[in-house]
Chain A
Amino acid sequence: MMTDKKPILRVKNITKSFGDVTILNSVSIELAKGDIKILIGPSGGGKSTFLQCINCLVMPDSGEIELDNERIQFTRKQDIYRLRQEVGMIFQDFNLFDHLTALGNITVPLRKVKKMSKKEAEQRARLELEQVGLSDKESLYPAQLSGGQKQRVAIARALAMDPKILLLDEPTSALDPTLIGEVINVIKGLAVKGMTMIMATHQISLIHNLADEILFMEDGRIVEQGPPDALLAAGNKSKSQGFCDLLNELSEVEG
Chain B
Amino acid sequence: MELSPFYQDLFTSLNRGLLMSIALIVPSAVGGVLIGITAGAVRTYGNRFFRTMANCYAAIFRGTPLVIQLFVLYFGLPNLGIYLTPYLAAVLGFTLCSAAYQSEYVRGALLSIKSGQYLGAQALGFTTFQTIVWIILPQAFRRAIHGCGNEIIYLIKYSSLAFIVTCIELTGAGKTVATEYFRFTEVFSIIGLYYLALVSLAIIILKKIEHRLFIPGFGHH
Residues 110-141 of B, flagged 1 when their CB comes within 8 A of A and 0 if not, give: 00000011011111111100100011001100
Closest CB of chain A to B190's CB: distance in Å? 44
Nearest Cβ in chain A — how far from B45, in angstroms? Answer: 15
A113 near B116 (CB under 8 angstroms)?
Answer: no
CB of A95 within 8 A of CB of B120, answer yes
Q: Are A95 and B125 in contact (CB under 8 A)?
A: no
Within 8 A of B (CB), among A121-158: 140-144, 154, 157-158
A143 touches B217 (CB 8 A): yes
Chain A minimum-CB-distance residue to B141 = A99
Q: Is B116 touching A112 in the complex (CB atoms < 8 A)?
A: no
A226 in contact (CB, < 8 A): no
Closest to B124 in A: A109
**Contact among B120, B125, B142 for A97, CB-based, below 8 A:** B120
| A96 at interface, CB cutoff 8 A | yes
B127 and A77 contact, CB distance less than 8 A: yes
> In whole angstroms, how far apart are the Cα atoms of A98 and B118 in the complex?
11
B interface secondary structure, majority: helix
Beta-carbon contacts of A51-84 to B below 8 Å, as 1s and 0s? Answer: 0000101000000000000000000010001101
> Is B84 an interface position by the 8 A CB rule?
no
Q: How far is the CB of A22 from chain B (nearest CB, A)?
A: 22
Known interface pairs A141-B216, A143-B216, A144-B216; A88-B123 also in contact (CB < 8 Å): yes
Minimal Cβ-Cβ distance residue in B for A109: B124
B215 at the interface (CB under 8 A from A): yes
Beyond the given A93-B116, A113-B125, A161-B125, please list 16 additional residue pairs across the A-B interface where CB-CB is below 8 A: A57-B123, A77-B127, A88-B123, A89-B123, A91-B119, A91-B123, A95-B116, A95-B119, A95-B120, A97-B121, A98-B215, A98-B217, A109-B121, A109-B126, A113-B126, A143-B215
Contact of B125 with A85 in the complex, beta carbons under 8 Å: yes
Q: With CB as the reference atom, state the residue of chain B lying closest to A113.
A: B125
B49 at the interface (CB under 8 A from A): no
CA distance A142 to B122 in the complex (A): 19
Q: Which residues of B contact A244 (CB under 8 A)?
A: none
> Residues 195-218 of chain B: 1 if any A CB is under 8 Å from the residue's CB, otherwise 0?
000000000000000000001111
* A36, CB-defined interface residue at 8 Å: no
Q: Which residues of A contact B142 (CB under 8 A)?
A: 99
Partner of B215, one of A55, A93, A99, A154: A99
Pair B117/A113 contact, Cβ less than 8 Å:
no
A82 touches B127 (CB 8 A): no
Residue in A85, A88, A97, A141 whose beta carbon sits within 8 Å of that of B117 in the complex:
A97
CA distance A97 to B99 in the complex (A): 27
27 A–B contacts, CB within 8 A, in A order: A84-B124, A85-B124, A88-B123, A91-B116, A91-B120, A91-B123, A94-B120, A95-B116, A95-B117, A97-B117, A98-B215, A98-B218, A99-B135, A99-B138, A99-B215, A108-B134, A109-B124, A109-B125, A113-B130, A140-B216, A141-B217, A142-B217, A143-B215, A144-B217, A154-B120, A158-B124, A161-B124
CB distance from A91 to the nearest CB of B (A): 7
| Whole-angstrom CA separation of A227 from B16 in the bound complex | 84
Q: Given A108-B134, A143-B216, are A81 and B120 neighbors across the interface (CB < 8 Å)?
A: no
**B134 with A55: CB separation less than 8 A:** no
- B residues less than 8 Å from A84 (CB atoms): 122-125
Asked if B116 contacts A82 (CB within 8 A), the reply is no
With contacts A112-B130, A141-B215 taken as known, whether A98 is within 8 angstroms of B139 at the C-beta atoms is yes
Interface 1/0 per residue, A7-29 and B, CB below 8 Å = 00000000000000000000000
With both chains docked as a complex, state the minimum distance between the C-beta of B68 and any C-beta of chain A, in angstroms. Answer: 39
With A97-B135, A112-B130, A141-B217 already in contact, the answer to whether A81 and B116 are too (CB < 8 A) is no
Interface hub of B116, B120, B122, B142 (most chain A Cβ within 10 A): B120
Interface residues of A in 97-119 (CB under 8 A from B): 97-99, 108-109, 112-113
User: Are A112 and B119 within 8 A (Cβ)?
Assistant: no
Closest to B139 in A: A99
Closest A residue to B127 by beta carbon equals A81
Residues of chain B in range 6-37 having any CB-CB distance to chain A below 8 Å? none
- Among all A-B residue pairs, the 4 with the closest Cβ atoms: A143-B217, A95-B120, A85-B125, A89-B123
A154 to B119, CA, bound (A): 13
The residue on A at minimum CB distance from B131 is A112
CB distance from A66 to the nearest CB of B (A): 18
Within 8 A of A (CB), among B130-177: 130, 134-135, 138-139, 142
